[in-house]
Amino acid sequence: MVGSTNWHPVCLASDLLKLPRAFSLGGKQLVVFRGKSGQPVVLEDRCIHRNMRLSLGKVCAGALKCPFHGWQYHADGVVLDSDGKQAGSNTARYQAAEYSGVIWTKSGMNESALPCLESSDVQLVAVTRSSASVPIELMLDIFLEAEHTTTTHSIFGYDERRVTELKCDIEIDDARIRVTNEGPPKRLLWPLSLLLGFKGKDLFVDEFEAEFDPLRICYNHYTRRSKDDSLALLTKMHMYFRPETESSSEVFAFLCMSKKHLYSSALLRPIVSYIGKMIVDSELQADMDMLDHLMVKDIDAAPMVGGRFDHAMHAQRRLLKKHYYGGHRERSQHTSTQSSTAPVKGSRR
């Protein structure tokens, strides 16, 4: 399992302080730390001396010090042994950047740019991350259908009692999946409706596009009075995904709000940001809990019985393999059938 060499999110910038952090990308064990000027540095999590985990070391004056014999890894790639002499070799190093509240990395030397999250009509409000013990295909499945929002979510999504009115259009081409859902939203308490920009009997439109290199889904959320009315943009949500191992995946959500919305009021901005982050956090956790509780975590979609919302499932696997894995996705051996009835703990880390 390797995958794309494009930019991936690693961790929230606020979670990378003085200590190094271990993480996985495509099955590789990596470590991130902050160099002398605070810039993120990503290395293979293995000391070139005698293979100790560098992530167990500490950062001294911007260099990562191995806990075993004290060799030091500097941000410019220089490795010094315990005598202070330059080691004859180096360790694998990845490009790293801090952007929009997140640390990003990529393994390729290609010139691909960091994602563009804000635009003239929206502003970034909140960033959050979640993970689940499932292969990336199963993580993507839940973000490609709206049916689960009727039951899994408590605020975001569609009214369970009127699910038959929920329209779902799915378009698939050689590179992308586009989905438009439209229907009656959940009934919310009026302060929340006001904050989110819903009015009384508005329809909720959830329109999104999935791309596979980089691995992301961009959502536009609109409301409108009736089908003939024009769409009013509420939020844009960018989701970026990182396959950690064959059996675990992570998602980073960037919530952007329309500048026309309440968010444009300087007075209300901190409140809207705070509540927006809280909602995204709790709704994502609901998704992750569902994924963690799946009985079978095989990526093979064939034995599953798809409903009218699930047409993207097979295409997702095909496009992921083609674009993200360059056509060489090994079939996951992680069939992890949970035979135990013990509940799996939610996996926010």
The nearest distance, CB 15 to ligand FES, in angstroms, is 25
Residue 12 near ligand FES by CB under 6 A: no
At closest approach, how far in Å is the CB of 88 from ligand FES? 14
Question: Does residue number 147 form part of the binding site for Fe ion (CB under 5 A)?
Answer: no
Sole window of 13-21, 63-71, 86-94, 306-314 interacting with ligand FES (rule: CB under 6 A): 63-71
319 binds ligand FES (CB under 6 A): no
Question: Of the two residues 250 and 287, which places its CB atom closer to Fe ion in the complex?
Answer: 287
When CB distances are held under 5 to 8 angstroms depending on the partner's kind, the choice from Fe ion, ligand FES, none that residue 49 binds is ligand FES
71 binds ligand FES (CB under 6 A): yes
The Cα–Cα gap between 74 and 96 comes to: 14
- Find where tokens 């989110």 sit: 196
| Interface with Fe ion (CB under 5 A), residue from 287, 292, 298, 310 | 287
- How far apart (Å, rounded) are the C-alpha atoms in residues 14 and 197? 29
Show the binding pattern over residues 169-198: x = contacts Fe ion (CB under 5 A), - = does not.
Answer: ------------------------------
Segment interacting with ligand FES, rule: CB under 6 A, options 44-52, 84-92, 182-190, 194-202: 44-52
Pick 52 or 344: Cβ nearer Fe ion: 344
Contacts with 304 (C-beta within 8 Å, 6 or more apart), sequence order: 310, 313
Instruction: Using the minimum distance from each CB to ligand FES, give the nearer residue, 70 or 306.
Output: 70
> CB 333: neighbour CB atoms within 10 A?
9
Candidate ranges 17-25, 53-61, 280-288, 328-336; the one touching Fe ion (CB under 5 A): 280-288
Q: Which residues pair with 41 in a beta bridge?
A: 33
Dmax over CA atoms of the chain, in Å, equals 75
Measured in whole angstroms, the distance separating CA 62 from the mean position of its chain's CA atoms is 28
Three-class SS of residue 30? strand
135 within 8 A of 334, measured Cβ to Cβ: yes
Is the Cβ of residue 73 or residue 263 nearer to ligand FES in the bound state?
Answer: 73
Question: 348: buried, middle or exposed (CB in 10 Å: 19+, 13-18, 0-12)?
Answer: middle
The least CB distance from residue 145 to Fe ion, in Å, is: 9
State the minimum distance, in angstroms, from the CB of residue 65 to ligand FES.
Answer: 8
| Among residues 52, 124, 155, 170, the one that binds ligand FES under rule CB under 6 A | 52
Distances (CA, A) of 320 to 118, 167, 306, 326, 330: 25, 26, 19, 8, 12
Binding to Fe ion by residue 289, rule CB under 5 A?
Answer: no
Please name the amino acid found at residue 174: D
Number of residues lying near ligand FES (CB under 6 A): 9
Q: Choose from ligand FES, Fe ion, none: what does 287 bind? Cβ within 5-8 Å by kind.
A: Fe ion
Select the span of 21-29, 65-73, 123-131, 244-252 touching ligand FES (CB under 6 A): 65-73
CA atoms within 13 A on the CB side of 80: 12
Phi, psi of 293 (to 5 degrees): -90, 5
Question: In this chain, which of 58, 69, 167, 318 binds ligand FES, going by CB under 6 A?
Answer: 69
User: Closest approach of Cβ 46 to ligand FES, in Å?
Assistant: 9
> Of the two residues 71 and 212, which places its CB atom closer to ligand FES in the complex?
71
CA atoms within 13 A on the CB side of 107: 16
Tokens (6 digits) for 215? 């691995």
Ramachandran bin of 51, using left for φ above 0, alpha for ψ from -120 to 50, beta for the remaining angles? left
158 DSSP assignment: B
Out of 49, 178, 277, 334, the only residue in the binding site for ligand FES (CB under 6 A) is 49
Contact set with Fe ion (CB under 5 A): 287
